[in-house]
Amino acid sequence: MSGTTHHIGPDSAPDRYRLLRSIGRGGEAVLYLAEIDLAGGTEPVVVKVLDSKTTITPEMFERISGKWNEQAELLRFVSRPGVVGVREHFQGAPLHRPGESGTLTGRALVLVMNHVDGLDLRDWRAERTLDTPAERREVMRTLEQLADVLDWLHSGKATPSGRTVVHGDLSPGNVMVDGHGQATLVDFGLSKLTADHLTAEVWFTPGYAAPEIFEGKRTPATDRYAFGAIAYFLLSGQSPPAVPEQLVAALAALPHVAGLPAEQRARVLSIAAADPGQRPVSLSAWVKDVRHGVVSTTTTSRRGTVHDAVPPRPVTPLPTAPSPAEPVRRGGKGRMIGAVAGGVAITVLAVLGIRALGDKGDEGGEGNGAAPPVTTTSAPVTTEPPTGQPTDTDSADPSASETATPSAETSPEKASLTSYPAVSLEGFEPGTAALGREYVPDALRGVDFCQGKAVFNLAKEWSKLSLLVGIDNDAQTTEGRVDIVVDGKSLFGRSVFLGAHEKLDLDVKDGLRLEISYDQGACKDSGVVIGNPVLTQ
């Protein structure tokens, strides 16, 4: 390093930390990226410095010093993923060149934290458009991580004595996301570590500050308000309004929130309430409400469907009597399939023999993009992998219609669950999938990290549910549990595995309520697939 580089350290080792560059400011303190020599090499750290030579008066510096030391010492007890580790804190000479600490007057308060290699939330969000389900799931994963760690800090579980920990200055600049997607709270700085702690100094980040901060009060509720502002920033890409009423209106205008049921929407908007007592106590529960609107393609009810910002895959009913030359275009992979049969016999067959003519590379699909050319809908779907050879559609067996699992059906006798009105659709979205060598053009895909549940009102109108269950070829995970229940009676309940999907024909006769759920124990990206789910009368 250059001899002009500045250092800082405790009185016993004043040159311990070599300051590389300034990386931010919190209140009157400045953050530096620094390094320390250890075991023949260097390790990066983040150093926060509050210098008495700043605009702070000597009296204020002394008053703050006691609070700083108490808070910094308590932070050393807080240890878990999602919270930056504190290495040490001390009072020493101000920034100085090597060997010159004794020539300076004044003192500095110093907090040394571990370095988190990644992007702060502002830069992380700037790299994402949220146009794809994968990016929306990334945002929800980040919010879930932050909610979990904040609930933990606020619960008193973070310290041996059970003291509540409040960050006090939550903002995108104080959250780092590393290359593995782990979000970490950094720069607790001078945040207040006990509920309802009052201070005369008001340091905050505009737009993320609850109104009570202007009265010098920082509590778990102020962290929750800031968390709501962060959620707005992540979902919209815009800075949050500075006034609670405006933040409520901005949240309500988000498509992800506007489409929620009224009661759920009210719970979401309560996070920006001007009254701290009206804000939700559990941020994790709040994020679950938001997730309904963000990761589900549609929010449905018996009265109608409200579409999310990303439209569902178009569903085309199976033809019953098209002209022989009439093409039928399927969703998902953008495959073009043509009806090949003709004459009166077409009206007799329930399902036509069809052939995949080629993958057009539809960017909207979510399959693995490598499905071999196979007969997509006309042949019976079995657990045996197809040969991968095209089927001669001219020799289609009419009896195949008895066992086929169609990709979509909207006739009075059949209906696909991907287009059937849902009571709730949490952790699922319509899409395409690949199970082994089987291309599944019509599927409910699991999109949650841990769990998902879809509920449908059958109204005693259906007799059979035919579907495939398995793990998508593109999934990070290899196993997940699937449960299918009708009116409290289990029809299917066990683990499914990558490369071993199953075909089910379930009796749902006289059923009122159908529930399909999955549990992803490893909490990775869910790869559970409910393929070609068709109800038959």
Task: Give the pLDDT of the chain (537 residues) as one tens digit per residue.
Answer: 444 689 999 999 999 999 999 887 765 678 899 999 999 999 999 999 887 765 567 777 777 788 788 778 888 888 888 999 889 999 999 999 999 998 888 889 899 999 999 999 999 999 999 988 889 999 999 999 999 999 999 998 988 888 888 888 899 988 999 989 999 998 774 444 333 333 444 456 789 999 998 887 889 999 999 999 999 999 999 999 999 999 999 999 999 899 899 999 999 999 999 999 999 999 999 999 999 888 754 333 333 333 333 333 333 343 333 333 333 333 333 333 333 333 433 333 333 343 333 343 343 333 333 333 333 333 333 333 433 333 433 333 433 333 333 333 345 688 999 888 888 888 888 888 889 888 888 899 887 657 888 999 998 889 999 999 998 888 877 888 899 999 989 999 998 888 889 999 999 999 999 999 988 765 656 689 999 999 999
296 burial via Cβ count (<10 Å: 0-12, 13-18, 19+): buried
Shared domain for 89 and 129, answered yes or no, is no
Residue 181 counted as domain residue: yes
Domain holding 28, by residue range, is 7-114
**148 and 252 assigned to the same domain:** yes
Structure tokens at 496: 């499914």
- Nearest Cα neighbor of 533 from 404, 436, 379, 406 is 406
**Residues 537, 412: contact at Cβ < 8 Å?**
yes
Residue 424 lies in a domain: yes
Same domain (yes/no): 109, 136: no
**Residue that is last in its domain, among 295, 314, 340:** 295
Cα separation, 440 vs 474, in Å, equals: 13
User: Which among 310, 302, 300, 293 is positioned nearest to 258, based on CA atoms?
Assistant: 293
Q: Are residues 521 and 383 in the same domain?
A: yes
Radius of gyration from C-alpha coordinates of the chain: 29
Q: Which sign does the torsion angle of CA 399, 400, 403, 405 carry? A: negative
Same domain, 109 and 122: no
> What DSSP state is assigned to residue 317?
P
pLDDT at 329: 34
Same structural domain, 276 and 386: no
**Residues ≥6 apart with Cβ < 8 Å to 431:** 133, 313, 332, 365, 366, 367, 443, 444, 445
Spatial contact of 452 and 514, defined as CB atoms under 8 Å apart: no
Q: Torsion angle of alpha carbons 396, 401, 402, 406, nearest 10°? A: 130
> Are residues 418 and 340 part of one domain?
yes
SS3 247: helix
Instruction: Report pLDDT digits (tens) over 85-123.
Output: 889 999 999 999 999 998 888 889 899 999 999 999 999
Shared domain check, 493 and 350: yes
| Among candidate residues 295, 313, 337, the one where a domain is terminated | 295
H-type alpha helices, 358-405: none
Residue 35 gets the label, from left (phi > 0), alpha (psi -120 to 50) or beta, of beta
User: Strand, coil or helix: what is 225?
Assistant: helix
Rounded Cα–Cα distance for residues 509 and 210 (Å): 54
Q: 475: domain CATH number?
A: 2.60.120.1060
If you search the block for the tokens 């196979």, which residue do you land on? 374
Last residue of a domain, one of 114, 149, 171: 114
pLDDT digits (tens, 9 = 90+) for 334-354: 333 333 333 433 333 333 343
- Same domain, yes or no: 97 and 184: no
Residue 412 belongs to some domain of the structure: yes
DSSP 375: -
Give bridge partners of residue 198 from the DSSP assignment: 217
State CA 376 to chain mean position distance.
32
Same domain, 133 and 152: yes
| 521 vs 364: CA distance, rounded Å | 28
Strand boundaries in 458-523, DSSP class E: 464-471, 479-486, 489-497, 502-507, 513-519
Give the C-alpha separation, 462 to 512, whole Å. 9
Q: Would you say residue 261 lies in a domain?
A: yes
- CA 317, 323, 325, 328: dihedral to nearest 10 degrees? 0
**CA-wise closest residue to 167 among 239, 243, 237, 218:** 218
Assess if residue 317 is contained within a domain.
no
With beta carbons less than 8 A apart as the criterion, state whether 30 and 49 touch. yes
Distance from C-alpha of 55 to C-alpha of 349, rounded to nearest angstrom: 85
Provide CB contacts within 8 A for 305, sequence distance 6+: 298, 299, 421
Instruction: Return the sign of the alpha-carbon dihedral for residues 392, 393, 395, 397.
Output: positive
Domain for residue 39, yes or no? Answer: yes
List residues bridging with 422 in a β-sheet.
456
Q: Tell whether 300 is covered by a domain.
A: no
Distance CA 407, CA 206 (A): 51
Q: Is residue 156 part of a domain?
A: yes
β-pair partners for 514 = 456, 486
C-alpha pair distances (Å), 459 with each of 363, 413, 513, 530: 37, 14, 7, 21
**Average pLDDT value over all residues in the chain:** 76
Residues with Cβ within 8 Å of residue 24, at least 6 apart in sequence: 30, 31, 173, 187
State the DSSP code for 29. Answer: E
- DSSP element (H, E) containing 250: helix 244-253
Q: Which two tokens stand for residue 229?
A: 């502002």
Q: Which residue has the tokens 């609930």?
A: 151
Secondary structure (H, E, C), 136-182: HHHHHHHHHHHHHHHHHHHHCCCCCCCCCCCCCCCCHHHEEEECCCC
Asked if residue 32 lies in contact with residue 22, where contact means CB atoms within 8 angstroms, the answer is yes
* Shared-domain flag, residues 376 and 492: yes
Looking at the structure, tell me whether residues 361 and 387 fall in a common domain: yes
Res 292: pLDDT: 85
User: Angle formed by the axes of helices 262-269 and 244-253, to 10°?
Assistant: 140
SS3 284: helix
How many structural domains compose the chain? 3
Q: What is the domain-level CATH number for residue 75?
A: 3.30.200.20
| pLDDT tens by residue, 349-392 | 333 343 333 343 343 333 333 333 333 333 333 333 433 333 43
Distance between CA 444 and CA 430 in Å, rounded? 5
What's the CATH code of the domain at 237?
1.10.510.10
